């Protein structure tokens, strides 16, 4: 009799797993869904820094990614502005005026385009207004790309901004990819 109960419980457990799925890792699932656009390990490592990420769904992960990208962009904006003001442009280039202008351009791109666009995108996404959120996509990633281009003539300044630009590009791509995975 006990053997029969054990077999029945095993079959019931297998049916539950088959029909309802095993309890998975929501962060890994979201990151795996966008693996064609963002390194899943990067995605997971960043999302796991946000309280509540483990229990969130893909929509929640989108909101978290937009917040992370906006914070990264604000940090990059502050770094570029600080280098431009602090005289690092003079030390970082054979043409200090050009380096300073490039760093100021980086600050403007982050501060006037990408960061505000990401904050608006997040608000629209929170309201599930997908069309309005997607309309902002052309602006969200411009700062990292534009900053790299502006700094092309100043290798030292470009090197100092490279990590911030790369982090922002990846987080912005994460938010974009998660937005594009939302069912409308």
Note the pLDDT tens digit of each residue in 83-121: 999 876 666 567 888 889 999 999 999 999 999 999 999
Q: How many CB atoms lie within 10 A of CB 66?
A: 29
Total number of domains in the chain = 1
Retrieve residue 166's tokens: 């790369």
* Mean pLDDT to the nearest integer, 65-75: 98
What DSSP state is assigned to residue 22? -
* pTM metric for this prediction: 0.84
Whether residue 16 lies inside any domain: the answer is: no
| Predicted pLDDT at 93 | 65
Instruction: Write the CATH number for 85.
Output: 1.20.140.40
Rounded to whole angstroms, how far apart are CA atoms 23 and 2? 28
Q: How far is CA 77 from CA 84, 109, 142, in A?
A: 11, 8, 13
Whether residue 12 lies inside any domain: the answer is: no
Whether residue 129 lies inside any domain: the answer is: yes
* Mean pLDDT to the nearest integer, 44-62: 98
Does position 15 have pLDDT exceeding 90, yes or no?
A: no
Rounded to whole angstroms, how far apart are CA atoms 117 and 73? 11
* Mean pLDDT to the nearest integer, 40-45: 98
Whether residue 80 lies inside any domain: the answer is: yes
142-150 vs 96-109: helix crossing angle, rounded to 10:
180
| Predicted pLDDT at 107 | 96
Q: Please give the distance of CA 159 from its chain centroid, rounded to a whole number.
A: 21
Which is higher by pLDDT, 153 or 72? Answer: 72
> What is the extent of the structural domain holding 166?
24-180
Which is higher by pLDDT, 85 or 124? Answer: 124
Rounded to whole angstroms, how far apart are CA atoms 8 and 81? 67
Inter-residue contact 147 to 169 (CB < 8 Å) = no
Query: Mean pLDDT over all residues of the chain?
Result: 88
């Amino acid at each position: 009799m006990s053997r029969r109960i054990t077999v029945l419980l095993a079959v019931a457990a297998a049916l539950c797993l088959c029909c309802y799925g095993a309890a998975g890792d929501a962060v890994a699932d979201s990151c795996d869904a966008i693996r064609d656009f963002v390194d899943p390990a990067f995605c997971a490592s960043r999302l796991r820094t946000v309280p509540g990420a483990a229990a969130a769904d893909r929509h929640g992960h989108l909101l978290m990614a937009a917040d992370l990208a906006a914070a990264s962009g604000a940090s990059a904006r502050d770094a570029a502005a600080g280098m431009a003001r602090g005289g690092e442009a003079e030390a970082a280039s054979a043409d200090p005026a050009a380096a300073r202008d490039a760093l100021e351009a980086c600050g403007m791109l982050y501060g006037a385009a990408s960061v505000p666009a990401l904050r608006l995108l997040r608000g629209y996404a929170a309201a599930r207004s997908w069309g309005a959120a997607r309309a902002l996509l052309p602006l969200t990633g411009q700062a990292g790309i534009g900053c790299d281009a502006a700094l092309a003539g100043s290798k030292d300044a470009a090197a100092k901004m490279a990590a911030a630009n790369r982090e922002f590009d990846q987080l912005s791509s994460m938010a974009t990819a998660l937005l594009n995975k939302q069912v409308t």
